[in-house]
Structure 1
């Protein structure tokens, strides 16, 4: 594994990301807690409120990883059918163990976010927590999320945007580039994965640009920053009118 974000064609990049996350799966949850000082739990709660605000009957959590966000959704809305999808089997096995331990029933299935194995308009809400930046093709990924979302449904993306300008942004950028990779390498034994993480965040579209990409797909979009801009929640609503059923060119 190289120490920089995967390069090459999009299929090759997807495969490299898949292999990398398979390698760090056993330590993934521990590192999330340590590296975010536990604040990631608060961010997930805020994103879950947005996703469940319209009382969806069926929710798809894409790039579900070890299932933290899918489990948050199910715990908050026990009557809602929750499906978690990810292309890393090792992550899904951990998610299944966590679901059993919490006595929560949800489906956890293997699937590629750029080619989801679900029919059009299958879900009332679609979510993606800290996985969207790993998509090899953002536009194609948004088109797939749009496709499986029913008219009147909602997309919620929780993600790390690039650090904002200013003192806090500079401090966080230093932490992300200098401190985080060392902690990650020490705990996980995989230096490449935790060099990839900050590089992937720095290369990710800023919140305004991501909102623009969502709007270009067809969503009515809004977003808000969390914890001084460390994280951001983007909400995209798919209009229920016939005039807005197809992504924009």
Structure 2
């Protein structure tokens, strides 16, 4: 299914952010996987694996993958955790279509299903899933507190949340090096491959604005999680968060 390239204007606080995000990711869906792997030097695959490993000892059988994109985290979870069901939820039709194709090709379509969802208002009943996961997507929530509370709501009591997210390094000299990389090479190369003028500048802005470390743990606890912790990876470029309901 082909999606027409749409022009995305700079974020307007008076507009529907969810709609803008959906349009932007529809635009870059065709090159999203390639750019993720190249811009991270393929380390993103290891980051996802690390986040999935946090869930292994709990043996979750039903998993909701929030902001699933093209389904890489859902696919990794299916291989490593062998659950009965994974639902990949995302607001972008373009990303979901690519995810469906990947899952079918891998023969995982009996385990992984996809559903278009507004992560601020999930359609699932409370206490539905053994685990909720999210990889590189919650930065795009229109309302982070509300999105985290929805993730908490659909988790069963005793269920677990595993998040992997891009973050800005806090230590020198990586802090300065990452700032140079994210403001020069990343948006330039992203624009070259995706043909989108805004998306990868937006990526840099969301990384810098996103609450991280202890602040993110506080948000998780305020949403109702009884336990929450974090671990930085690759000099702080990425962080995993793990929480229990």
Do both proteins adopt the same fold according to a TM-score greater than 0.5, normalized to the shorter chain?
Answer: yes
Q: Is there any run of 5+ residues in structure 2 with no aligned partner, and where?
A: 1-7
Q: Deviations over 1:205-224 (max 9, x none)?
A: 12111111001112110110
Q: Distance in 2 between matches of 1:80 and 1:183?
A: 39
5 Å-filtered alignment, 1:1-249, equals 1-2=8-9, 4=10, 6-9=11-14, 12-105=16-109, 106-219=112-225, 220-238=227-245
Q: Distance in 2 between matches of 1:53 and 1:174?
A: 39
Structure 1 vs Structure 2 CA RMSD: 1.1
1:245 equivalent in structure 2: none
8 Å CA contact retained: 1:75, 1:104: no
Q: Deviations over 1:53-87 (max 9, x none)?
A: 31111000000000000011111123431111111
Q: Is there any run of 5+ residues in structure 1 with no aligned partner, and where?
A: 239-249
Aligned to 1:64, the other structure's residue is in SS state coil
Q: Distance in 2 between matches of 1:65 and 1:103?
A: 18
Aligned to 1:90, the other structure's residue is in SS state helix
Q: Distance in 1 between matches of 2:150 and 2:56?
A: 20
Q: Deviations over 1:103-142 (max 9, x none)?
A: 1121111111111110000000001100000001011001
Residue 163 of structure 1: how far off its partner (Å) = 2.5
Residue 51 of structure 1: how far off its partner (Å) = 2.8
8 Å CA contact retained: 2:62, 2:83: no
Q: Distance in 1 between matches of 2:87 and 2:44?
A: 21
Q: Deviations over 1:168-190 (max 9, x none)?
A: 11101110111100000011111
Residue 164 of structure 1: how far off its partner (Å) = 1.3
TM-score, normalising length: structure 2 = 0.93
8 Å CA contact retained: 1:87, 1:112: yes
Number of aligned positions between the proteins? 235
Q: Which runs of 4+ in 1 moved over 2 A?
A: 77-80
8 Å CA contact retained: 1:44, 1:69: yes
Q: Distance in 2 between matches of 1:91 and 1:53?
A: 30
TM-score, normalising length: structure 1 = 0.91
